[in-house]
Structure 1
Amino acid sequence: MDSSVKIILHTNGGEWSKGLSGSVDCGADPVFEESAEGLNTRIHGCFGAVLVLDLSLYGENHNHPTVSRIFKAGREQKIFVVTKLRDQDSLYELFLKGARGFCSPDIEMGLLVKAISAVMQGELWISRKQTAYFMGRMYRESSSRVRQSTLLGSSDESLDPQLTEREIEIAKCVALGNCDKAVASSLDISPNTVKNHLRNIYQKLNVSDRVQLALICHGIDVEELRRSA
């Protein structure tokens, strides 16, 4: 297993990929892998890497069988998709498959580096508009809209017993759309402390990001949505 590889670029050399080498501070240059077969081998050898998927390789078809196989094989990777797609439903389906962020092929290099760095650190790179759409659609599609244990409930009985009081405070703030810095400011703690608490919260609730955390706080069954993806 090669732990030195932090970024895998699955592309045929689009303009957006040129200049990435040396631009992202991850200790090693990105590895290019154009073939799906080579990518499959690379995925299994690089735990925790960011996989940048160029959807143009598959005609911008998010339902292409190979794309689905890549997402299944890359469960341990953070997948970032470069795509011309603007259709929110298509992006939503990619998000449910496991995409951690999206950008257009004509993205400015500095912004692309920032996006990949954010995903590398475990954050999502999706717009507020996309977040609102994804959450709205998840809510509509969930058949379990209200749980007995809803973190945004008004009484102590509604608070999830898995979390500490501080974790519940942070989860509520995140569910209301606050960034780490805003959460830290409102609770008078450091942003790093917020990040540490969030890691524990994600592990306890079996979620991977703040969108899924917000859904649980609003009483939506994330596991059901995963099974339907």
Structure 2
Amino acid sequence: MSALQLPPVHLYTANAGLLAHWRHGLAGHCRLQGHDLWKPPAEDGSVSLIDLHLPGLPAVTRPELWQEACPPRLVACSAVPHDDEGVAALRVGFRGYCNSWISVDLLPRLVLAVANGELWIGRSLLSRLMLSVAVQPASGTFSSNWRRGLTDREQEVACLVADGASNKEVARQLGVAERTVKDHLSHIFSKLQVHDRVQLALHVHGVDAHHPAP
């Protein structure tokens, strides 16, 4: 893989083997800085990979401990990931949740995605979030205002995707090509200023984008 232009990355872990794994995947792509104790990074555009077993790290299940300690672009890394922990991490402001030992080939893509404002989560957690927001009652003004500026077809696509449909399922239901669905989604993301399907679902269902429902 050719070197990507990535922002600086902070690596928070006390596990020497894990630190070496992360460095192996990111070396040559960005400036790296290791930390074996928790201290919130400066809001300087960097991305942080955080081992959830790091000494002194507040538990993600204690949101009150993260109110002033969760700058943007943090990725929670767990040796034994599970959806409940992933939801908790997203609720306190993390922008990604993954296995600590994620493939070294995926590490640069993870950092790039989070740096660009996207969420990085697995399929199981994505499905859970999509289902949870689909059954939430609308709140605030998002649910009544998000349609403004979208064509009728874009609104149809947005509603189906927000309810968890894949591009292939949307294409089948609307009788269009999958490529057409992708084009519609690109326009929808741009118009609504969202970066991914989860943010779109939260937007459509009127759920605060920083606090997805458990």
TM-based fold match above 0.5: yes
1:82 shift after superposition: 0.9
1:201 paired residue number: 192
Deviations 1:102-155 (A, max 9, x none): 222333322333333332333322122211112333445x3x2489985xxxxx
The residue that corresponds to 2:123 in the other structure is 128
The structure with the largest helix share of the pair is 1
Change (3 A) 1:105 1:198: same
For the residue of structure 1 that corresponds to 2:11, the secondary structure is strand
Alignment gaps of 5+ in structure 1: 151-157
State the partner residue of 2:3: none
Asked if the contact 1:21/1:29 (under 8 Å) is kept, the reply is no
> Which secondary structure does the structure 2 equivalent of 1:223 belong to?
coil
The equivalent position to 1:162 in structure 2, one of 148, 151, 157, is 148
1:31 and 1:16 map into 2 onto residues whose CA distance is 14
**Superposition TM-score, scaled by structure 1 size:** 0.63
- Which structure has more relative contact order (CA 8 Å, sep 6+)? It is 2
Is it true that 1:18 corresponds to 2:9 in the alignment?
A: no
Q: CA deviation at 1:19?
A: 5.0
1:177 maps onto 2:169 in alignment: no
Q: Which runs of 5 or more structure 2 residues have no equivalent in the other structure? A: 1-5, 172-176
Classify the secondary structure of the residue corresponding to 2:36: coil
Structure 2: which amino acid aligns with 1:163? Answer: G
CA RMSD of aligned residues (A): 4.2
Offset of residue 80 of structure 1: 0.9
| Partner in structure 2 of residue 55 of structure 1 | 52
SS at match of 1:185: helix
TM-score by length of structure 2 reads 0.67
| Inter-CA distance 177–216: structure 2 relative to 1 (3 Å threshold) | farther
List per-residue Cα deviations over 1:152-204 (Å, max 9, x = no partner): xxxxxx7745333286466346433339xx9982158599xx2x7524413xx
Q: From the superposition, tell whether residues 95 and 225 of structure 1 become closer, same or farther in structure 2 (CA, over 3 Å).
A: closer
Q: Secondary structure at the match of 1:51?
A: strand
Aligned positions of 1:87-166 closer than 5 A: 87-139=82-134, 142=136, 144-145=137-138, 160-165=146-151
C-alpha distance in 2, partners of 1:64/1:215? 22
Shift of 1:211: 0.8
Deviation at 1:55, TM superposition (A): 0.4
Identity %: 22
Task: Report the CA distance shift for 1:168/1:222 in structure 2 as closer, same or farther (over 3 A).
Answer: same
**What's the CA shift for 1:52?**
1.0
Query: Contact 2:12–2:36 (CA<8 Å) still a contact in 1?
Result: yes
Relative to structure 1, is the Cα distance of residues 136 and 173 closer, same or farther in structure 2, using a 3 angstrom cutoff?
closer
